Amino acid sequence: MEHSKGRRLILFALPLQGHIVPMLELANLLHFKGFSITVVSTQFNKLNPSSYPHLTFDFIDEGLTESEASTNDLVHLISLLNEKCAQPFKECLVNLLSDVSKEPVACLITDLRFHFTQPLAKSFNLPRLLLRTGGASSLVVYIAFPHLHEKGYLPKQDSRLEEPVKGFPPLKVRDLPNIHTKDPEQYFQMVAGRLRDETEASQGLIINTFEDIEGKALIRIRDEFPVPIFGVGPFHKPFPTTTSSGPGSSVSLPQDQSCISWLNTQAPKSVIYAGFGSLAAISEEQFLELAWGLANSNQPFLWVVRPGFVQGAEWLEALPNGFLEALNGRGHIVKWAPQKAVLAHPAVGAFWTHCGWNSTLECICEGVPMICMPCSADQMMNARYISDVWKVGLQLDHGKERGGIVKTIRKLMVEKEGKEIRNNMSDLTKKADLCFKPGGSSYECLEGLVKHICSLDS
């Protein structure tokens, strides 16, 4: 602790919900270990410092236009952010590094996808660590992109979807990332070309995971890279879950606290919580299948329908008139939930999820079995681990179709298969509890990370 005191860390998250949450949770962890923390935020998805009085904030104006900010092409958005943040972040860094009123800066911790920070940090002779906000198993796949490309697994071909990906059990071709961008070459460049070089050029890689779920992948990554790899997750585990703001709160939407009062009226383990993260979007037709699947399951449900979740709609207008009223209080729909508090609520019996990595870890920590409906990026790989490796959830039987949805919900919540899955989940949750106790893998790795950071400037 005494070594970390008197040292400041600069943290710079990619400004997307699923990247901001773990960066702020990491900030909490490192602050808890004694470091002073400055978080740099963009104007796009600007952070609200009032929720984090223990952290210092600095803001840059990257000048993203409204139309640039509202694109659905994430690859393009990330590339733009790398371009537009370069100059303002450099100026911000000059100020932070020359500010003698504050503690000296020990290192910069940036998102793995902020490529431009590598030459910049080098030019300032500033040690730079990377944060991987997703899992280690999916990172192994991203690192192997050139190989998967060469072997013809990527881009995915419909005729090969059920084929196992050689060397990457238990993945099938269908689990590999979809490449939704107008410029696939840019994507390959960004993921494959830079990932390896920049990780090698960094002073270490921090991953929001723990040995019990991704020990094999961590070994593989350690074999690949000559830099220290720290699996110190789940980052939020050491802190109590609250219903208030904090890293779970949306960058643009308030958390709807009516979720908790509604859950208070429901029987233990009876509710399906359906939530699909901050980016996933589905067609109106699919939305109606989900709605009827929930309604026909006969279980109570709490459903987060984010504005933007239904393509081409404002919010719920595609639902038939009187849909919710006909359920007599069995369904509750909100725009944004205090997700961690919802998962921790005793009334919740299953999480129907898109398998975003943060949602997956949050769910494991709270011991709630999952129904997987992956949509893009690493989510299909996470879903495969959930259903086939840890065996703590089920994949939807027939895609997004009401009959299959009802069948899967009943299988998980009522039938024998669900009991086994709940037992497996309860074992995994115990492991997550232990990993941050003295001697646990994340506890030890965090100690190692603190020592490593303290050694960087000595």
Residue whose C-alpha is closest to residue 394's, from 272, 300, 215: 272
Min dist CB 251 to ligand UDP, Å, is: 9
Q: Which one, 20 or 121, has the nearer CB to ligand UDP?
A: 20
Residue whose C-alpha is closest to residue 110's, from 184, 252, 206, 208: 206
Min dist CB 219 to ligand UDP, Å, is: 24
| DSSP class of 111 | E
Helices assigned H by DSSP within 345-401: 357-366, 379-384
Min dist CB 306 to ligand UDP, Å, is: 7
Min dist CB 71 to ligand UDP, Å, is: 16
* 426 in Cβ contact with 73 (< 8 Å): no
Q: Which one, 169 or 254, has the nearer CB to ligand UDP?
A: 254
* 386 in Cβ contact with 362 (< 8 Å): no
315 burial (CB, 10 Å; 0-12 / 13-18 / 19+) is middle
Min dist CB 156 to ligand UDP, Å, is: 20
Using CB atoms, what's the residue nearest to ligand UDP? Answer: 18
Q: Which one, 18 or 233, has the nearer CB to ligand UDP?
A: 18
Residue whose C-alpha is closest to residue 432's, from 348, 358, 366: 366
Q: Which one, 156 or 340, has the nearer CB to ligand UDP?
A: 340
Residue environment code for 89-117, b if the CB has 16+ CB neighbours within 10 A, otherwise e? beebbeebbeeeeeeebbbbbbbbbbbbb
E strands, 146-243, are: 205-207, 229-231
| DSSP class of 327 | G
Min dist CB 355 to ligand UDP, Å, is: 8
Which residues make up the interface to ligand UDP (CB under 6 A)?
Answer: 17-18, 21, 248, 275, 277-279, 304, 336-337, 339-340, 356-359, 362
Min dist CB 110 to ligand UDP, Å, is: 18
Q: Which one, 18 or 331, has the nearer CB to ligand UDP?
A: 18
Q: What amino acid is encoded at 254 in this protein? A: P
Q: Which one, 130 or 343, has the nearer CB to ligand UDP?
A: 343
Q: Which one, 340 or 452, has the nearer CB to ligand UDP?
A: 340
Compute the C-alpha angle 15/18/24, nearest 5°: 70
Q: What amino acid is encoded at 413 in this protein? A: M
* 131 in Cβ contact with 32 (< 8 Å): no
